[in-house]
Chains A and B, each alone.
Chain A
């Protein structure tokens, strides 16, 4: 069995999920006094967002609050719509199944709510994630839009059956001819299956009417076409059939510029062009004219700038892809980098880079919020701070695109899903070991006699950074270093752990009470 870091890290996200969902949030919340950046519509310098029963019911400079709304003062903060991660496989166990035509597969069966990925999404202000198979496929399967909270996939789900994943670029081990041959065959086989199904249905109906099948197969297929009911399609064909009827979205990976033309043609031939979103590779932007003619929305590669060296002159050129796409007037979404150690991991960083490169601020902001929402068919439900939309609000400490800004709180459907003040991992990463233990310690100079710790972390816990004890620095002698930090016991101060076992603890105490009441056995 696999035992990745994510397994071991699984605890806290369950915790977040558990606490956010079971803690039955107040049904009406008013976030007041913050600067509102609604993405759609003008900014409000100081305003209020009212969320009732999970949905935004008022946004404005002055909002009359219902008597029963819980008011949260966010003065000095910035309210921003929850970010939308347009395309990610990371909530799954593996990126792609080892199968060419996986049209029957659904990410539902592989989404793991305990993945650290979901916890990180919350931490980065992402409230909506489109979980979709990665690009190493022919037909990858069915995707799903989820929120990064919930104990199981149903609880996480925002939109099931969001799209079919298709790759127009060769999967590992294939070339383009093989890839397209398999894709064509999948739809040709669907057509053939439909014919046979029609014939079968006609025969069934004739039998039901106690009539003979008195026509040839060609005629029977013609007559049987209307007799096919949706439930007649088997698992292998049902989704492709829906797709071919334009009743399902398709997210098509076009990994290179050369794949755009065939992908557009194929989508048109098979009836889903009006529902296609193109997922671009690093250099696909070079087909920007074709993409412009197609006019379908696009999702950009995680690497926003494309570098290449002229093989003859050796000259290095660099293209900032969002600028090209924005100038072409295409609706686009940007993705966070899957490597959590890179700045590109933050959608806000991606948007900020756009501004540096001359993309309009509203275009950049839309590319991480409302645009992906629209691509997922959720443009009316999320992606901006507007009345009637989901109460997905990120409370930033400053401007969302300022890289010194922290995500302070995240509300999802009105549920406080993330609170930086309670984020144990952040605390453990950024604070000095034992810093939060300090107030419990005796006066700084009591432990100063230990020479073994001379020079160790001279600022640890005492001094100007600790407002609780401003006098410490003056009192401690120059040759008296601060006491050694207590050895970190993350298990003990781990609020996420406490939250994780929250339900368990409550259940246990209930159980103990019940046992004490009911059990007269040897353990009582």
Chain B
């Protein structure tokens, strides 16, 4: 498995040691080269910006990457490739779940010491090769963002992780992969109870402290300050956030709360913002998001796990994803909040979104390219294009059709799930 270090990231000594030790223990098994594979399939959903679909296609995989994609008539299969004939199957990019808690140990979900806990990191909870992860990849889910719970307003760093791999170093793609912010709607229960006036003040103040720390170091590194700032283990991890190397993944829902997230994190602090949940009447914030996107801000909406909102006043059911989409929010994806909805049910979440009025093709996009972009992984995964990592599912049909099953999953060029060997569905 390829381990990407976040660009220019400084890491804490302890975690490096931990990962290093684990890598040493289990690194031997990964020594062999990924195999050379030739998939002959009925359809490839490339999921690129041109919305390319290739029928009767061949996908060549070598060295862990996609070597070539094209029509079967155009792509010759070279010598030495294992030919996998699945002429009625679809290849779909591996699904990316931006809101997952099951890639780590659930007993370490929330460490509610303070109302904001910027020093904590889910990297210390990653559990490779759990049953949940096996289920995830059996469902075509290949990459997840493991984040801490929403018990406090800032609950720690998220970890982007593959759903297959023997060790922590095998599965971790990027750490930190995000900072988890819970804008409101859970942290209220902290202590004797807090309101949004205090929570938002406190969240903003924590982020501003981190920003000030980052700027002091930037100034020093640019040679504009002579005095070296003091190292702060709590805020040092935030530097990547302000360099836009990872995102703020935000537990946010309900109009005022989503509005605050857009205003505080995206508009004013100019952080790469991923709105998770985005339920209830949150979709009405779409005009503000459109304005912010037009002003160059980065906001992805990764909706879920609630597929619909029952509006008692109007006596209407609103499909959450559908409403976001109709309101003109183009960067829309889907999450499971596993274990709230099981991690392998990610495509089913998108199907539910479509059941309540979303657009099926957009639903698949919201499982692949959009979340990959949201997590800044789009140079590596999210589409079936030459040069990208070989990370996809081979499906019996449209993945949003509940009757379809993932028959084979490839991560890092290796077959990590094969229904012929051990069938899940």
Residues of chain A having any CB pair with chain B under 8 Å? 1-3, 5, 7-12, 14, 18, 22, 92-94, 96-99, 102, 104-107, 109-114, 133, 141, 151-154, 235, 490-491, 494, 497, 500-501, 503-505, 507-508, 510-511, 519-524
Contact = CB atoms under 8 A, between A and B. Distances in A.
Interface string B167-192: 00000000000000000111010011
B195 A92 contact: yes
B360 interface: yes
Contact of A99 (B50, B198, B255): B198
A114 B195 contact: no
A490 B314 contact: yes
B205 A235 contact: yes
Interface stretch (B14-22, B70-78, B285-293, B408-416): B285-293
Contacts of A523: 51, 359-362
A235 to B, nearest CB: 6
B194 interface: yes
B201 interface: yes
B194 A503 contact: no
A152 B253 contact: no
Contact of A491 (B188, B259, B315): B315
Interface in B292-348: 311-316, 323, 325-328, 330
B53 A522 contact: yes
Given A11-B281, A504-B286, A497 B314 contact: yes
Nearest to B199: A109
Nearest to B317: A491
A163 B339 CA distance: 46
Given A99-B198, A524-B51, 18 more contacts: A5-B313, A8-B312, A8-B313, A9-B313, A10-B281, A11-B314, A12-B313, A18-B287, A93-B195, A102-B197, A113-B259, A141-B197, A151-B285, A154-B263, A508-B327, A511-B325, A519-B51, A521-B52
Contacts of A111: 256
B326 A520 contact: no
Contacts of B311: 8, 11
Contacts of A96: 195
Contact of A152 (B53, B201, B288, B325): B288
B280 interface: yes
A507 B259 contact: no
Contact of B197 (A5, A12, A107): A107
Contact of B185 (A1, A153, A235, A521): A1
B51 A522 contact: yes
Given A7-B281, A93-B195, A151-B287, A508 B326 contact: yes
Contacts of B205: 235
A491 B314 contact: yes
20 contacts: A1-B186, A2-B185, A8-B313, A11-B281, A12-B313, A92-B196, A94-B195, A98-B195, A109-B200, A110-B197, A112-B255, A114-B256, A133-B197, A491-B316, A500-B284, A503-B286, A504-B327, A508-B328, A511-B325, A523-B51
B80 interface: no
A3 B280 CA distance: 10
A97 B194 contact: yes
A92 B198 CA distance: 12
Interface in B236-264: 253-256, 259-260, 263
Contacts of A9: 313
B193 interface: yes
A90 to B, nearest CB: 13
Nearest to A12: B313
Nearest to B254: A7
Nearest to B200: A109
Contact of A520 (B51, B263, B315, B359): B51
B304 to A, nearest CB: 15
Given A11-B281, A151-B287, A106 B326 contact: no
B284 A490 contact: no
Contacts of B50: 520-521
Nearest to A9: B313
Given A114-B256, A500-B284, A504-B286, A98 B194 contact: yes
A328 B204 CA distance: 46
A66 to B, nearest CB: 32
B198 A97 contact: yes
B114 to A, nearest CB: 15
A199 B9 CA distance: 39
Contacts of B260: 109
Contacts of A1: 185-186, 188, 253-254
B182 to A, nearest CB: 11
B286 A114 contact: no
Given A114-B255, A519-B51, A511 B288 contact: no
Contacts of B198: 97-99, 102, 105, 109
Given A7-B281, A109-B260, A112-B256, A504 B361 contact: no
A507 B51 contact: no
Contacts of A105: 197-198, 201
A511 to B, nearest CB: 6
Nearest to A93: B196
A490 B283 CA distance: 21
Contacts of A505: 326
A305 B217 CA distance: 62
Nearest to B255: A114
Contact of A106 (B53, B199, B201, B290): B201
Contacts of A2: 185, 188
B195 A97 contact: yes
Most buried by A among B192, B254, B288: B254
A12 B193 CA distance: 29
Contact of A151 (B52, B197, B288): B288
Nearest to A95: B195
Contacts of B361: 521-523
Contacts of B196: 92-94, 109-110
